[in-house]
Amino acid sequence: MTFEPEELGRSRQELGSMLRELRKAAGLSGDRLAVRCTMSQSKVSRIENGQTRPTLIDIEALLTALEAAPEVVTK
């Protein structure tokens, strides 16, 4: 199942930008986040740049690895 950010009122670019900001706030590189999520660095980059539609599992893995606050997760 592919996650459609537009269904929640966000574009892929907005979602990617939010994830990038969370990663930077956590002080993680794209490589380090990828290791934490067990996905490739290029996939993390494509998600952050809005080039790839993430799955719900991808989003959950990224938010968990970033230790995102509950209020961020529900946005």
> pLDDT for 50-74, tens place per residue?
998 888 899 999 999 999 887 776 6
What CA–CA distance (Å, rounded) separates 22 from 63? 9
Asked whether residue 75 is assigned to any structural domain, the reply reads no
**Domain contains 16:** yes
Q: How many folded domains does the chain comprise?
A: 1
Question: Is residue 72 situated within a structural domain?
Answer: no
Mean pLDDT within 23-44: 95
Separation CA 29–CA 53 (nearest Å)? 21
Containing structural domain, residue 21: 5-66
CA 6 → CA 20, 27, 45, 70, distances in Å?
A: 18, 28, 19, 21
Does residue 45 fall inside a structural domain?
Answer: yes
pLDDT tens digits for 6-28? 555 568 888 899 999 999 999 99
For residue 28, give the CATH number of its domain: 1.10.260.40
